Amino acid sequence: MANVSERISQSAFDGSRLRVILMMDLYDGAQNEFLEAYEHMRNQVASIPGHISDQLCQSIENPSQWLITSEWESAPPFLAWVNSEEHVATVQPLHNCVRDTRSLRFSVLRETGVAFENTSEKSKGGLQAAPRLGDGVVRHALTFTVKPGTEEMVAKLLSDYDSPQARVDENTRLRRTSLFMHGNRVVRAVEVEGDLMAALRHVSRQPEVRAVEEAINPYLEQDRDLSDPDSARMFFTRAALPTVHHVKAGRHAPEDVQRHSLFYQAKEGCGMALARLLAGQDEEAANDASSPIESSTIFQRDDVVVRLLEVKGPLGAQPTQALGIGGPRKAAMLGRLLDGGANGMPTTDQEAARFLAQAEMNLITDRRATES
């Protein structure tokens, strides 16, 4: 079906400067402790490659409301920093001071003012080339590992629970949750209309969700105590698997496609480069009218890359395109970035089909919201 919907796209790889806004509500009496922690954090962040500047602001209407804005040469260096263990340790002291936070990330599209034109900062990153078309959906994923040998038990627990209420508030709604496993790794991908953090908080409070989360605790490789806010926060911070690229071609109706997920283990330090390579391949597929791939969402953290696909027809019908390796050159590049992949990249469709079978994750649940 042609022209089912308009093409949509979002990406961390367009080379534009990034503006990050962190809104915070401080506990009463925590300002001095917060300022101390901020000074330490500011000095750490200033040394991160790709960081340009930051500002700390306090509300003139409500002194408990604070704002940190930072500017980065592009999204990749920021994402590498914010998803690192170093970042987790650096921001830990802030948790005792802050009642609530919300983080927003924006590409810089336009700017005015002569001050910027007269500084060397102009060379540090460019502007977003053109506005992108979205669909009002925020995509995010969580990933964690379970103890080897417990995979079947965990899969059963994660599939046998009632879905939480989809409606969060008048502006936010859970749209879809898909859960996959690859060996002992679990990936939960969520789609939200509205405020992602509000939706995640809503889900975490639902009794059916809390029960299944408690039930899988004994099987997790990383210990956590959900009754301890610091332990829960640390676990979900490390489990976050952010979206770095999403593209939808708009050629196929939703009922004509099926959802699949592929797991890629990158070499140490190569996760972002691998995600960028796959993103470029998926942009090409979106421009190819013969491609069965309707949409692709790439999640990446450290050296873990997950690619969520909506595909018309069998996933293995075009195995090289499904893997994101259109052509021998792309296969060789992928091999250089994959952990253990340099000597085993497929050069024929038959080899690609075997490789695809190894990369494909098992779908445990795929739940769509039914209420309007």
Query: Mean pLDDT score of the chain, rounded to an integer?
Result: 89
pLDDT (tens digit per residue) in 97-126 = 999 888 999 999 998 875 544 444 445 678
User: Largest alpha-carbon pair distance within the chain?
Assistant: 65
Higher pLDDT, residue 230 or 272: 272
CA distance 78 to 57: 20
Lowest mean pLDDT among 27-31, 225-229, 251-255, 367-371: 367-371
Residue 18 clears pLDDT 50, i.e. is over it: yes
The pLDDT, as a whole number, for residue 3 is: 47
Task: For residue 158, give the nearest of 312, 301, 362, 314 by alpha carbon.
Answer: 362
The pLDDT, as a whole number, for residue 332 is: 83
Q: What is the pTM of this model?
A: 0.91
The pLDDT, as a whole number, for residue 118 is: 45
Would you place residue 188 in the very low, low, confident or very high pLDDT band (cuts 50, 70, 90)? very high
Mean pLDDT along residues 325-337: 82
Q: What percent of the chain has pLDDT over 70?
A: 93
What amino acid occupies position 15?
G
Lowest mean pLDDT among 118-132, 142-156, 214-228, 281-295: 118-132
β-pairing, 185-193 with 137-145?
antiparallel
State the burial class of residue 155 (Cβ atoms within 10 Å of its Cβ: 0-12, 13-18, 19+): middle
Alpha carbon 305 to its chain centroid, in Å, reads: 10
CA distance 153 to 159: 10
